[in-house]
A and B are shown apart, each in its own frame.
Chain A
């Protein structure tokens, strides 16, 4: 079945970077035109959209508040998308989800989430 698999939890020091992976399976990562979005969740701010990557082209679109410290890439040979967040602070402690969407449709498939703790 269609799945997005994310790597396990991590603890990072303030100022460090984290790279979160999202492996797609059960559908064509590049032949279809599903976008991979990154959404994080914190108790204080709820769900925050961080941006998307279009696996077919590598094109990206980021939320302004993350623009200067986020990178999104993909490796089409292993059907995996990545989100790299730099200069971490305690405010970045969150569950990071990848999710799939067709154009501007809702996110129909979600990864199980990766807990990132900055401490």
Chain B
């Protein structure tokens, strides 16, 4: 299985800050990497498709980059609604696998 390792596992930041979350794959997954946001009691929500494509309706403050094994999700000018848990997921090969999540908390 392809292992997805996210860092950090948790992160404290303030409104207006810029944060970056990284995701590393255990092998080359090209750009088959997606980012999700999940809030308590809700299903995950797709933010970034295929490493860097912003999903329709998602704020332009969210950007994704990377290819191969190393990927980043950056959220600029944090807003209160951004405090949530973020996951990466690969679809290069089955079984699809997810990162363990990064919990973004208000400082």
Asked if chains A and B come from one complex, the reply is yes
Taking beta carbons and an 8 Å cutoff, which residues of A are in contact with B? 37, 46-49, 61, 63-65, 97, 99, 101, 104-108, 110-113
- In Å, the complex CA distance between A110 and B101 comes to 18
| Residues A46 and B101 in contact in the complex (CB < 8 Å), given A104-B32, A105-B50, A110-B43 | yes
Residues in chain A near residue B94, CB distance under 8 A? 49, 61, 63
Other contacts beyond A47-B87, A49-B94, A108-B49: 10, CB < 8 A? A37-B96, A46-B87, A47-B89, A47-B98, A104-B91, A106-B35, A106-B46, A106-B50, A107-B36, A112-B43
- In Å, the complex CA distance between A107 and B88 comes to 11
Q: List 24 A-B contacts (CB under 8 A).
A: A37-B96, A46-B100, A47-B87, A49-B95, A49-B98, A63-B94, A63-B96, A64-B95, A65-B95, A99-B43, A101-B91, A104-B32, A104-B91, A105-B34, A105-B50, A106-B36, A106-B50, A106-B89, A107-B34, A107-B36, A107-B44, A107-B89, A110-B44, A112-B42
In the complex, the answer to whether A106 meets B49 with C-beta atoms within 8 Å is yes
Tell whether B39 is near chain A: CB-to-CB under 8 Å: no
Q: How far in angstroms is the closest Cβ of chain B from A4?
A: 9
- In Å, the complex CA distance between A48 and B87 comes to 12
Interface size on B, residues (CB 8 A): 24
Residues in chain A near residue B50, CB distance under 8 A? 105-106
Residues in chain B near residue A113, CB distance under 8 A? 43
Q: Which of B42, B43, B91 has most A Cβ within 10 Å?
A: B43
* Residues 54 to 71 of chain B near chain A (Cβ within 8 Å): 55
Residues in chain B near residue A48, CB distance under 8 A? 98
The 5 closest A-B pairs by CB, nearest first: A106-B34, A110-B43, A63-B95, A49-B96, A47-B98
Q: How far in angstroms is the closest Cβ of chain A from B42?
A: 8
Q: How far in angstroms is the closest Cβ of chain B from A58?
A: 17
In the complex, the answer to whether B44 meets A47 with C-beta atoms within 8 Å is yes
Of A61, A108, A111, the contact of B46 (CB 8 Å cutoff): A108
Closest A residue, CB atoms, query B31: A104
Residues in chain A near residue B36, CB distance under 8 A? 106-107
